[in-house]
Chain A
Amino acid sequence: MWQWLKRLYHRLGSPKWFYEITAKWIPWLAIISVVGCVTGLVLGLLYAPADYLQGNSFRIIYIHVPAAILAQSAFMMMAIAGAVYLIWKMKMAAWVAKVIAPIGAGFCLIALFTGAIWGKPTWGTWWVWDARLTSMLLLLFLYFGVMALQQAMDSEESGFKAAAILALVGLVNIPIIKYSVEWWNTLHQPATLKLTEKPSMHPDMLIPLLIMIVTTYVFFALLVILRTRNEILWHERKRSWVKDILEP
């Protein structure tokens, strides 16, 4: 197992290997994304019953929750990729960290926007400075900070290093987001989905949500692969294997 992981790790470090293997994955990831999204949304928008309290506005959950979960997971992955780059100087890790930043920021933006829109009819306000909303806004600014650092430095390498350090420091915000609704009193309700307990949601509403969450992860993988392949093409443009792609 350990040997296999080690071999995979070394292979992942090779841009050429990554570029070639992912070419086969892209169509499958795209198909799963589309099928999952259609299934999840049809079930969520058409077949899930309305909530007893919120009525149909609760259907925003099918984008809000997956986007919010992914924005946090993506940040963690970005920080891990950054750490791998700092420790082993693996270029691929730096490129992956670079491409995750704008994707994660996009999901974070979706979570904040849909949360605000959802808040208006349910809470009676678009925004309130409670711990959950504020820490989520901080996550967006951390993403922006990472993106800025990646481009701000004179050499690309020092930009990646600074961005990786900010991502690692920003990691502290992730448990704060998660536990904000338990540590402090907030307008935002506690989590519906917990790893340790049964979800407090009717199965007819829950199944579409779980489908959307899994689909969002698959879609995220697709986006990361697409963007990383572009980074590879750009950085390896002078290599002979890329020249062979350019001139078949």
Chain B
Amino acid sequence: MTPKRKKRLILILFLVAGVGTAVGLLMYSLSQNINLFMTPTQIANGEVPYGRTIRAGGLVVVGSLQRSQDSLVSEFKVTDGNAEVTITYDGILPDLFREGQGIVAMGKLNRDNVFVASEVLAKHDENYMPPEVKDALEKAHLDGKEALESARY
């Protein structure tokens, strides 16, 4: 490689490394703003001001969904494994809304620490499988649980 070419190569490497570092630092300092939603832990810690529109996300707690008899209002809890927050929503829940699945809700936290959502989006995970496999997995899981439970007695 001629010295001139070597110089250009080094210049380019410096350019990419420099921009990379700058963007990396920027991303790091902005990481709170880049996150799409707040977690139940953050809400429980009081990091979320009352009355400000934010997004909250987590897994819907199994057995927590309550639908109103005469309106679209529904109430459910979401968790991040650490803390829980109650969400109420007046509207049609997305097709993929399931207990145990992830959701992201946009809305405001009221004084009773209930999150009043104006929009609920469903998250899904990176696993793809046919229904039979899912059923088999669940059955195996349940069987395993039962076996564990019966083993205790």
Contact = CB atoms under 8 A, between A and B. Distances in A.
B69 interface: no
B85 to A, nearest CB: 15
B35 A172 contact: no
Given A50-B130, A190-B126, A168 B95 contact: no
Nearest to A50: B130
A183 B39 contact: no
A74 interface: no
Contacts of B125: 189-190, 200
Interface string A217-244: 0000000000000000000000000000
Interface residues of B, number: 40
Contacts of A123: 94, 96, 121-124
Nearest to B130: A49
Interface stretch (A30-38, A143-151, A201-209): A201-209
A83 interface: yes
Contact of B126 (A169, A171, A172, A189): A189
Contacts of B82: none
A169 B130 contact: no
A176 to B, nearest CB: 7
Given A172-B19, A185-B36, A51 B130 contact: yes
Contact of A185 (B8, B16, B57, B121): B57
Contact of A53 (B5, B39, B124): B124
Given A168-B12, A200-B126, A202-B130, A128 B23 contact: no
Contacts of B132: 49
B62 interface: no
A191 interface: yes
A200 B127 contact: yes
B144 interface: no
Contacts of B3: none
Given A125-B121, A176-B23, A204-B130, A171 B16 contact: yes
A5 B88 CA distance: 64
A122 B128 contact: no
A172 B36 contact: no
Interface in A49-105: 49-54, 58, 61, 83, 86-88
Nearest to A119: B121
B16 A189 contact: no
Nearest to B4: A87
B27 to A, nearest CB: 7
Interface in A130-169: 130-131, 165, 168-169
Interface of B: 5, 8-9, 12, 15-16, 19-20, 23, 27, 31, 34-37, 39, 57, 94-96, 98, 101, 104, 119-135
10 contacts: A49-B131, A50-B130, A50-B131, A61-B128, A121-B95, A122-B96, A124-B95, A168-B16, A185-B36, A186-B36
Given A53-B124, A54-B124, 6 more contacts: A49-B130, A131-B36, A172-B23, A184-B34, A191-B126, A201-B128
